[in-house]
Amino acid sequence: MMGIFELSLRLAGFPIKKAQTAFEAILQIPETDYQNFIENKKTEIVHFHLKNNSFYSDLCKGKNIENWNDLPVLTKADLQQPLSQRLSKGFSEPNVFVNKTSGSSGTPFIFAKDRMAHALTWAHIIHVFGQHAVDFNTDFQARFYGIPKAYCGNRKERLKDVLSNRYRFSIFDLSDAELEKILKKFENKKFDYINGYTSSIVLFAKYLESKNIILKKICPSLKVCIVTSEMLFDADKVVLEKQFGISIVNEYGASELGVIAMQNSKQEWAINSQTLFVEILDHNNQPVPHGIEGKIAVTSLYNKAHPFIRYEIGDTGILDEKSTAKFPILKKLIGRTNDIAILPSGKKSPGLTFYYVTKSIIEDDGNVKEFVIKQLKADTFEIEYISLKALETTQIEKIKAAIDLYLEPNLKLIFSKKDFLKRSKSGKLKQFVSLIQ
């Protein structure tokens, strides 16, 4: 019998049962045949987009398309043009899944996935979460994620929460008073697992530490905590394990791709080799040997609506030497960390709060290319951006209104148009940086 979560996917137009059947067939492919399977899927998706996607075929002009390593590496900047210009033949916004990236790298864009590809993404997520005894159809999730404050967007997310059997905690205010309210919810609700942004969950754990409280003791139904979107440092993981009293699992993913890797029972980062192909590249966009650090590039093997082929996600990492085609292991992940903003009122907000501010400046015309937000003082933030033209007064007012709504009023904003933005040593552009901590 189909559970409510899977039923909600089907009612939304995603063929989840068909995808799960296809996914199970992939899992059954033996190791000896898996390299050929991956190579065939890579060839299929490239040839499909060369034939049906003018955006991708234009990128490949002058390239040796028969040699995988000669194919272009797709950057986020490449994708900052109207979505209609990036969709494949036969696909339009009404018949695809459309979403926006978080902009955590400082380079946000709108993307699309065809319905079968999105269903396969969910088949994989259901599978890997199931390995940690999480059942989306029956288990109750404590969700540490952002949520739109505008009425329609808020109601939509709340409905999705109901259908997905989860309770969402707002992460925009993580002051002690709000953390105490979160604690009360754990006392009164039978949560089965925790999922959400690393920094928010760590702040909650540190609050519990200050109160000398073990979460499992007040919420015995809890069995696992899965953190995502930001780096989980070893010291923070120790705090989480101690204060929650449950196992802590690290997930590495992206909204445009789904789960890229998740820690397994051996604490290894098991890479998604069922719907994705992950490479580690050097500065010349050539694969490096296992054990060598490089740029992470990901190929979505099934997304026909929109090409993600050799897509440079903005992180660096290392593939384990014992990786195989079917069981690749991410030995080390570098990057994906966000600072905490501490505001004049004492309110604390994670850096990813600025995801909701970026919505104010994301335009599908590709005007604003990159941006970073720096906290210069408790009440002063500088927004540096690269744009074809300076922000208009209406855009600035929209950003100020969003910051008033999501953070707090009376913050000082400095807007600085730049020719280039400073990047970290790894080459990643960090969206939010606090200079006062």
Do the Cβ atoms of 291 and 317 come closer than 8 Å? no
Instruction: Give the H/E segment covering residue 28.
Output: none
Give pLDDT, residue 253.
92
| pLDDT tens profile 109-140 | 899 999 999 999 999 999 999 999 999 999 99
What confidence score (pLDDT) does residue 360 get? 59
Residue 61, pLDDT > 70, answer yes
Longest dimension (CA), the chain: 63
| Residue with more model confidence, 372 or 144 | 144
Q: Which carries the bigger pLDDT value, residue 353 or residue 25?
A: 25
Contact 385, 417 (CB under 8 A): yes
pLDDT greater than 70 at residue 102? no
At 2 the pLDDT is 62
Q: How far from chain centre, in Å, is Cα 366?
A: 21
3-state secondary structure of 3: coil
**pLDDT attached to residue 423:** 64
- pLDDT value at residue 337: 47
Angle, CA 377 vertex, CA 371 and CA 382 arms, to 5°: 20
Please determine, for residue 36, whether its predicted confidence score (pLDDT) is greater than 70.
yes
Please report the sign of the dihedral spanned by the C-alpha atoms of residue 145, residue 151, residue 156, residue 162: positive
- In this prediction, residues 213-236 reach a mean pLDDT of 92
Q: What is the pLDDT of residue 139?
A: 96
Mean pLDDT, residues 321-341 taken together: 84
Which residues, in sequence order, are bridge partners of residue 299?
A: 277
Question: What was the pLDDT predicted at 300?
Answer: 98
Read off the pLDDT of each residue in 24-49 and give the average, rounded to a whole number.
98
Higher-confidence residue: 63 or 242? 242
